[in-house]
């Protein structure tokens, strides 16, 4: 393969991974925008989605892509319930306590799953798990490409929802200025659990999408929580379009880094990028931070 082709191949597979990162990061950013809370249990919500999809596949033979239709609403209600029960009481508490609470939730979720399913690595093998298709000389993974399509549809849908629908506009208004939103009659508490539910549904579906191509184990969430942080900070905290750009950038950066630098340090690339952004442009590379 020529160097140019390798580059294009790397870039494309980076973009496909980036799509997943968008799906994961956008939920975190939405939750942060509306509630000013960083959800440290974000990756664990994804793991819940992964195991739900896994269970549906093993017990009911439901294809991971099909199970999205169940996982999305299930995680929506799960996230909304978590918000109502645990997050609401600390909305006015100190930032440290809010963070610690979500850290506690992440421990409960990941170790709860550990107790239920055990520490084993599992995976789902579908007929298309290893399938690839060719664009000329470039090969692309079928499940990754399908995932990318799903993320485009979902994030596009989210974007339209936020821009066009009344509820979406209310969510954005709450994110912009909570007090002002409440003054004009928006129920900010409702926007809070809606945002948490939507964010959870998005990241839960990312879990379903990962199932055919990744290992499933209880502790996998932490790494993805970190990726979500990186995506949000790259894009500017609370910015939805920023998260989209940040996710794609992270996917591409990792993919290039793995090929041209070292695959062992792949996961460090995003983190270094993150520290670098804090150093030179803490408001994020794209758009403005809503801090």
Partner 1 sequence: MRDGIILAVASAVMAAVPLWAGEGFLLHFFILLLLNVTLGTAWNLIGGFAGQLSLGHAAFFGIGAYGATLAHLRWALPGWQGMWLGGALSLLVAAVLGWICFRLKGPYFALATIALAEILRLVAQNWKEVTHGSEGLLILRPLFSSKVQFYYAALLIAFATLSAAALIRHSKWGYYLFAIREDQEAAESLGVNLLGYKLLALLASAFFTALAGSFYAFYIGFIDPASTLTVERSIEMALLAIIGGMGTVFGPAVGAVAITALSEGLRLWFLSAHFFIYGVLVVVVILFMPEGIIGSLGKFWRGKRRAPV
Confirm or reject binding of residue 127 to partner 1 (CB under 8 A).
Answer: no
Write each residue from 1 to 40 as x if it is in contact with partner 1 (CB under 8 A), else as -, in one continuous string. -------------------------------------x-x
How many Å apart are CA 163 and CA 180, to the nearest integer? 19
148 scored as a contact of partner 1 (CB under 8 A): no
- Nearest Cα to Cα of residue 143 among 210, 70, 203, 224: 210
Q: Which is nearer to partner 1, 111 or 167 (CB)?
A: 111
Q: Does 114 bind partner 1 (CB under 8 A)?
A: yes
Answer for which of 35, 101, 205, 245 binds partner 1 (CB under 8 A) is 101
Tell the smallest beta-carbon distance from residue 109 to partner 1 (Å).
8
**282 interacts with partner 1 by CB under 8 A:** yes
Segment 197-236, which members bind partner 1 (CB under 8 A)?
222, 226, 229-230, 233
CA distances from 116 to 110, 206, 218 (A): 10, 21, 10
Q: Footprint of partner 1 on residues 230-249 (CB under 8 A)? A: 230, 233, 237
Placement of tokens 């421990």 in the chain: 107
Q: Check binding of 107 to partner 1 (CB under 8 A).
A: yes
Q: Which of 156, 180, 265, 288 binds partner 1 (CB under 8 A)?
A: 265
Q: Which residue has the tokens 């499933």?
A: 216
Neighbours of 262 (CB within 10 A): 11
Q: Find all residues with CB under 8 Å of 234, minimum gap 6, and list them.
A: 242, 245, 246, 249, 250, 273, 274, 277, 284, 285, 286
Cα-to-chain-centroid distance, residue 43: 7
Q: How many residues does the chain have?
A: 291
Can you tell me the distance from the alpha carbon of 194 to that of 139, in angstroms, rounded to the nearest whole number? 39
Closest CB 278 distance from partner 1, rounded Å: 5
Tally of CB atoms within 10 A around 247: 31
Note whether 121 binds partner 1 by CB under 8 A: no
Q: Whose Cβ is closer to partner 1: residue 118's or residue 130's?
A: 118
Interaction site with partner 1 (CB under 8 A): 38, 40, 86, 89-90, 92-97, 99-101, 103-112, 114-115, 119, 222, 226, 229-230, 233, 237, 262, 264-265, 267-268, 271-272, 274-275, 278-279, 282, 289, 291
């Amino acid at each position: 393969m020529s160097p140019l082709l390798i580059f294009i191949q790397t870039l494309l597979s980076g973009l496909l991974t980036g799509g997943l990162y968008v799906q994961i990061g956008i939920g975190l950013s939405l939750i942060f925008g509306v509630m000013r809370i960083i959800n440290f249990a974000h990756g664990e919500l994804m793991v819940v989605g992964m195991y739900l999809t896994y269970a549906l596949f093993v017990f009911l033979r439901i294809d991971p892509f099909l199970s999205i239709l169940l996982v999305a609403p299930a995680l929506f209600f799960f996230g909304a319930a978590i918000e109502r029960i645990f997050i609401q009481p600390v909305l006015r508490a100190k930032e440290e306590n809010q963070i610690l609470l979500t850290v506690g939730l992440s421990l409960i979720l990941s170790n709860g799953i550990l107790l239920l399913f055990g520490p084993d690595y599992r995976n789902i093998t579908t007929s298309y798990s290893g399938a690839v298709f060719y664009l000329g000389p470039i090969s692309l993974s079928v499940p990754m490409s399908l995932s990318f399509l799903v993320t485009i549809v979902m994030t596009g849908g989210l974007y339209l929802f936020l821009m066009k629908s009344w509820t979406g506009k209310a969510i954005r208004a709450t994110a912009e200025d909570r007090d002002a939103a409440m003054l004009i009659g928006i129920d900010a508490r409702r926007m809070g659990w809606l945002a948490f539910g939507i964010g959870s549904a998005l990241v839960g579906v990312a879990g379903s999408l990962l199932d055919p191509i990744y290992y499933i184990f209880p502790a996998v969430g932490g790494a993805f929580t970190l990726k979500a942080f990186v995506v949000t900070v790259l894009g500017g905290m609370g910015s939805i379009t920023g998260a989209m750009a940040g996710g794609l950038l992270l996917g591409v950066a990792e993919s290039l880094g793995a090929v041209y630098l070292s695959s062992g340090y792949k996961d460090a690339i995003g983190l270094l990028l993150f520290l670098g952004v804090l150093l030179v442009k803490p408001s994020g590379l794209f758009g403005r931070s809503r801090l």
